[in-house]
Chains A and B, each alone.
Chain A
């Protein structure tokens, strides 16, 4: 009895909401074009970036950036923001490998160097639980600061949920977004008689592997260098498609489960079709391997596309093609990754407000297409419906399919303990691949270590909610 009416109510409400959002989304997008910073204060009550930023003109904010395409894209856009607001945006580019340490040292060292902080999908639990990132509701509920066109619902839900939100509180807006995608060299595959990429990992191993591995060329490369690359890109990538997982539903380590072991053993076997020093390959080597024509297929982050389409860095500009990551017995479970931008709790209130305005602007729907054209990967759904952009960026399709259909928010758990666990996986995972420890021994060792960490953190005693 009750359900249908509730549902009807829900539909009504969401229609209303959508209409409202639609209207508000159109308004500011048109505004700057019509009146470029002329007299923003005129229409009382109407929100404009210029007006909202007026109290913060002259403020300088520091961002944590990486040396990746999405950040270079943002750097291209920043002058526009600075001109409109008078807020100075500085950035510090650091290697990913140091970025968590740098930020943690800044948070715990009370240096307050960074205002606009970078939150990896796997750090959000740590940053939120430690109180280093400010809950963003403080800003988006403040009419003076919140752009009516903000539209949080316009982000791919999986992105906002997994690297923006912790325990139902939003801490960051998705900025540099990745899905694992199968990049392949169509020419090499065609030469070997294949008219498409493998749909499953089984096929990759049994059919494509032997056919494509010869004369110093390799069928596949899986970046596995010790670090987050090993734990996220290599280790977790083979666990999920085989039905395994890091933790089971009771939060117990699950690496000794048959499915998890199957995935790890598969990786071990697949190494015969990978370059011999694959354990030392990071993203760079892997991308180079494909771009230089030495490797036929890689499963890498979508953000690398620019490397393959630029003739200066790629020999395979005309051969690059894309597909969703191969499926395992448990289906396709592509890697999910990415970064959101958040506001540091150590910054002064003015800097925090200025930072929010910047984050809101750079991740907005209005700027999403410019961001993509400058080389970024936006988290806004609307941007990917543009036919012109679709034609220009053929990798959109597997990307959107991965986010919409196969999104796995717990691809890596996001709780504060992950960095410590990742460190252990990175070490034992590489040792496994090198053969200095067997898969079973390694999995058992990791199980024990992970349990100890979770035990100490109080998950089993019920002191802490079992959040991933």
Chain B
């Protein structure tokens, strides 16, 4: 009896393991294929049937490295995404705190208005922003992108942090007020540290979204401030696609984010699902 049951359990486990492996395979395959293509010679890339075991070559990475613009674009992406995320937190977190703590007329509308920025298609903003940035002489410079990325950064932070601040008991605030702290101090010294987990989640999401963004970057940058996704899109040409360097570039863009995402996967899952399940 117990032997039979144990055996059935074993089968279930085995069956589940196989299915899990298949799932993992499906979700990892495209990324795996990108990385291996980046390491294949051009001849191996075109081989039919596909070559699975091959002598890896770093020529494509070397080509990407010596040609230069990809590295520069990665630095640009890093600068823009980091600055924009920091600003979004700096601007969004206090707003979220106020929305969580105070009641005032029009609060619901204000909240809705801030959040609704997340639903606006970037093309709606990109068109006029191009002309505005032109008049301000901000085209092809970091500030233009940093600013425009706040259109999704700030709402994201507000959305995810309101709950976080709500979870902090009001008594904490009141105790501090009794000790003579003003609102700013209450927020920055007490609430902000307590809300860090939620803020981190929002910051991670805002960073990844900025890092991955293409439409604004395509319109607002050209040479100097060009970001990594634009550089990647540039490989798509009708006149001789260089698959190796293209996939090497893709790898350089994606791998850091993936490693980062793995490191903080717990927070990331929370961030992705927090708005969804209450």
* Direct contact between A and B judged by beta carbons closer than 8 A: yes
Question: Which A residues fall within an 8 A CB radius of B?
Answer: 62, 66-68, 92-98, 102, 105-106, 108-111, 113, 223, 225, 227, 229, 282-284, 287, 307, 312
Across the interface, which residues of B come within 8 angstroms of A283, CB to CB?
238-240
Please state if A109 and B134 are interface contacts (CB–CB under 8 Å). Answer: yes
16 A-B pairs besides A62-B223, A67-B239, A113-B224 with CB distance below 8 A are A67-B237, A94-B234, A95-B235, A95-B236, A96-B238, A96-B239, A97-B236, A108-B134, A109-B133, A109-B134, A110-B137, A110-B139, A225-B238, A282-B238, A283-B240, A307-B240
Across the interface, which residues of B come within 8 angstroms of A102, CB to CB?
222
Across the interface, which residues of A come within 8 angstroms of B42, CB to CB?
312
Instruction: Tell me which of B139, B224, B234 contacts A98 (CB under 8 A).
Output: B234
Whether A109 contacts B234 in the complex (CB less than 8 A), given A102-B222, A284-B239, A287-B240, comes out as no
Closest residue of chain B to A281 (Cβ to Cβ) is B238
Instruction: Tell me which of B224, B235, B238, B240 contacts A227 (CB under 8 A).
Output: B238
Interface size class for chain B?
Answer: 20 to 34
Please state if A105 and B238 are interface contacts (CB–CB under 8 Å). Answer: no
Whether A96 contacts B237 in the complex (CB less than 8 A), given A113-B140, A312-B42, comes out as yes
Please state if A109 and B240 are interface contacts (CB–CB under 8 Å). Answer: no
Q: How far is the CA of A113 from the CA of B134 in the complex (A)?
A: 13
Q: How far is the CA of A94 from the CA of B234 in the complex (A)?
A: 6
Q: How far is the CA of A97 from the CA of B237 in the complex (A)?
A: 7
Across the interface, which residues of A come within 8 angstroms of B237, CB to CB?
67, 95-97, 284
Across the interface, which residues of B come within 8 angstroms of A97, CB to CB?
236-238
Q: How far is the CA of A68 from the CA of B140 in the complex (A)?
A: 25
Instruction: Decide if B130 is an interface residue (CB 8 Å cutoff).
Output: yes
A interface SS class = mixed
Across the interface, which residues of A come within 8 angstroms of B139, CB to CB?
105, 109-111
Instruction: Decide if B241 is an interface residue (CB 8 Å cutoff).
Output: yes
Min C-beta distance of B167 to chain A, whole Å: 46
Interface string of B213-248 (1 = CB under 8 A from A): 000000100111000000000111111111000000
Q: How far is the CA of A282 from the CA of B238 in the complex (A)?
A: 5
Closest 3 CB pairs of A and B: A282-B238, A95-B237, A109-B139
Q: How far is the CA of A109 from the CA of B26 in the complex (A)?
A: 44
A sample of 29 cross-chain residue pairs with beta-carbon separation below 8 angstroms, ordered by A number, consists of A66-B239, A67-B237, A67-B240, A67-B242, A68-B239, A93-B69, A95-B239, A96-B238, A97-B237, A97-B238, A98-B234, A102-B222, A105-B139, A105-B219, A105-B222, A108-B134, A109-B130, A109-B133, A109-B134, A109-B139, A110-B139, A111-B140, A113-B223, A113-B224, A282-B238, A284-B237, A284-B239, A287-B240, A307-B240
Q: Which of B227-278 contact A (CB under 8 A)?
A: 234-242
Across the interface, which residues of A come within 8 angstroms of B133, CB to CB?
109
Q: How far is the CA of A66 from the CA of B234 in the complex (A)?
A: 11
Closest residue of chain A to B224 (Cβ to Cβ) is A113
Across the interface, which residues of A come within 8 angstroms of B219, CB to CB?
105
Min C-beta distance of B48 to chain A, whole Å: 10
Closest residue of chain A to B230 (Cβ to Cβ) is A98
Q: How far is the CA of A307 from the CA of B42 in the complex (A)?
A: 14
Whether A113 contacts B222 in the complex (CB less than 8 A), given A108-B134, A284-B241, A312-B42, comes out as yes
Please state if B239 and A111 are interface contacts (CB–CB under 8 Å). Answer: no
Min C-beta distance of A237 to chain B, whole Å: 15
